[in-house]
Amino acid sequence: MDKFVINGQKKLSGEVSISGAKNAAVAIIPAAILSDGICRIENIPNINDVTLISRILAKMGTDIKMIDKTTLQINAKGIKSPEASCDLVRQMRASSYLLGALLGRFHKAMVSFPGGCDFGVRPIDQHLKGFTALGASYKVESGIVDVEAKELIGNTIYMDIVSVGATINIMLAAVKAKGLTVIENAAKEPHIVDLANFLNSMGADITGAGTDCIKIRGVSSLQGTTYSIIPDQIEAGTYMVAAAATGGNVLIKNVIPKHLEAISAKLQEIGVVIEEFDESVRVSRPSKLNKCNVKTMPHPGFPTDMQPQIAVLLSMASGTSMINEGVWDNRFKYIEELNRMGTKISVDGKIAVIDGIEELIGAPVKAIDLRAGAAMIIAGLAAKGTTTIENVHYIERGYENIINKLKSLGADIKKVEIENQNFMPKAL
Ligand code: EPU
């Protein structure tokens, strides 16, 4: 068990390079199950969620290995059974993509109900609605989702809510189905487009990804490919907020500025200065921060995965700001931890009211999930004194080498082992 220890109030400055996108990687890696050839996926982030999904595929019989620092090679020919039910599967939400990928390949999938960060109920009804429309039937028994289809046949599916996961899963199941599948009210996140581009590079016929109507014309087979994953929009946004919160000046490299527009626009409203270049953004904060209201929404709205980080910044602004969480039912559980650092934030359902304070004060806190953990780091970097963060395994699920990246920007942060709290001294 490790914790992060941060001595705050060091202005971040210098350059940081953003890694490949977690949420693209955890969709594209299982999508390789659909290929008859060898897939080489470049710009893979070195994070625990990638290790986890790779271990799951390896357990299922895939030949999967890193062939250099950032390239993962996958040959999934060795998978003989459509079953993925090991303990690892239950540890991550993205293992639900095994349902679509195995269904697409074997016309059958048996996958343990997916886990992931706890933001309230995380149903998969829209995923199952999509599979059913393609001709599959399903049952859920003893925590295993069992989906089967004699034949997968294209259909028009109108999603009741915008769901990233359901959109991805339906694309995976439909890519080798017979005929045309149309997903209406589809999610438009950059990683949806990345997955479509990856599948198309293997010979799929997908158009419209990035709009709310995706058309998938089924093909009989998919070949191998070499494909490079997009940079991580949320990792970039997290460093942008960290730079702003410490009053620093940081060049954030290897980004697609277009993917950051919603984040940049909000930061500018708060008083942060953003300069955009072709593949980088410079973030600085010359003056005080302004209050502002934020509503999280599916892309291209302000991303829910940046909600905890922006809450920290708004707690340092003068006046009262409000955040309306528009995606998840229960994504403010971390506020209790943040308030230990002196913030004045109250929560009523999906709304947080943030009264700006003069200064955050370092305190012992816990990361209660991945992005909440990122917010605790930002708070610690901005706070006076020392902050310790427990449960850092959540943070390491999605942020590559975060300690060294922050240290290279001048942060005083280190990872230390927590002493065994259950240690009982031997009786004398
Ligand atoms: N929903 C349903 N039914 C479904 C699916 C979703 O009601 O069948 C609801 C959810 O309960 C939620 C909303 O729809 O209220 C959106 O859920 P979505 O399916 O879009 O989320 P997801 O696919 O489970 C992905 C990311 C999350 C990110 C959300 C929203 C991955 C692996 N996870 O989750 O990322 O918050 O989209 O953008 O891509 C993170 O990276 O920290 C993270 C949690």
Instruction: Kindly indicate the confidence band of residue 179, based on its pLDDT and cuts at 50, 70 and 90.
Output: very high
* Domain count for the chain: 2
Do the beta carbons of residue 169 and residue 99 sit within 8 Å?
yes
Closest-lying ligand 1 atom to the alpha carbon of residue 126: 8
Same domain, 311 and 215: no
Same domain, 99 and 149: yes
Same domain, 35 and 124: yes
* pLDDT score recorded for residue 114: 72
The 10 Å Cβ neighbour count of residue 231 is 24
Domain extent for 44: 22-228
Same domain, 284 and 203: no
| pLDDT cut 90: percent of the chain above it | 90
The 10s digit of each residue's pLDDT in 286-304 is 889 999 999 999 999 999 9
Nearest to 47 by CA among 29, 74, 63: 29
- CA-proximal residue: ligand 1, atom 15 (nearest): 328
Same domain, 8 and 105: no
Sheet architecture: strand order including 71-75: 63-68, 71-75, 38-42, 225-228
The 10s digit of each residue's pLDDT in 392-409 is 999 999 999 999 999 999
Rounded-to-integer distance, Cα 117 and Cα 98, Å: 18
- Residue 428 in this model has a pLDDT that exceeds 50: no
Same domain, 57 and 205: yes
Instruction: Kindly indicate the confidence band of residue 57, based on its pLDDT and cuts at 50, 70 and 90.
Output: very high
* Residue 422 within any structural domain of the chain: no
Arithmetic mean of pLDDT over the chain: 95
* pLDDT score recorded for residue 86: 76
Range with lowest mean pLDDT among 141-150, 333-342, 362-371: 141-150
Tokens of 100: 């679509």
Same domain, 27 and 167: yes
* Residue 131 within any structural domain of the chain: yes
* pLDDT score recorded for residue 420: 66
Residues forming the active site: 117
Instruction: Kindly indicate the confidence band of residue 1, based on its pLDDT and cuts at 50, 70 and 90.
Output: confident
- Residue after which a domain boundary falls, among 174, 203, 228: 228
Closest-lying ligand 1 atom to the alpha carbon of residue 327: 15
Same domain, 168 and 118: yes
Same domain, 168 and 286: no
* Domain CATH for 216: 3.65.10.10
* Residue 58 within any structural domain of the chain: yes
Higher pLDDT, 338 or 123: 338
- Residue after which a domain boundary falls, among 181, 201, 228: 228
* pLDDT score recorded for residue 115: 64
* Residue 424 within any structural domain of the chain: no
Q: Which of 327, 330, 400 to mutate to test the pocket of ligand 1 (most atoms within 8 A of CB)?
A: 327
* Strand 225-228 to 38-42 pairing: parallel
* pLDDT score recorded for residue 268: 97
Same domain, 37 and 162: yes
Q: Strands, DSSP E only, in 213-303?
A: 213-217, 225-228, 249-253, 273-276, 280-284, 293-295
Same domain, 152 and 272: no
Do the beta carbons of residue 351 and residue 322 sit within 8 Å?
yes
* CB-count exposure of residue 81 (10 Å: 0-12, 13-18, 19+): exposed
- Residue after which a domain boundary falls, among 202, 228, 254: 228
Q: Global pTM?
A: 0.96
Range with lowest mean pLDDT among 4-13, 55-64, 92-101: 92-101
- Residue 424 in this model has a pLDDT that exceeds 60: no
* Residue 74 within any structural domain of the chain: yes
Residues touching ligand 1 (Cβ under 6 Å) are: 23, 26, 93-94, 117, 122-127, 161, 163-166, 187, 304-305, 327-328, 370-371, 398
Same domain, 224 and 340: no
The 10s digit of each residue's pLDDT in 250-291 is 999 999 999 999 999 999 999 999 999 999 999 999 889 999
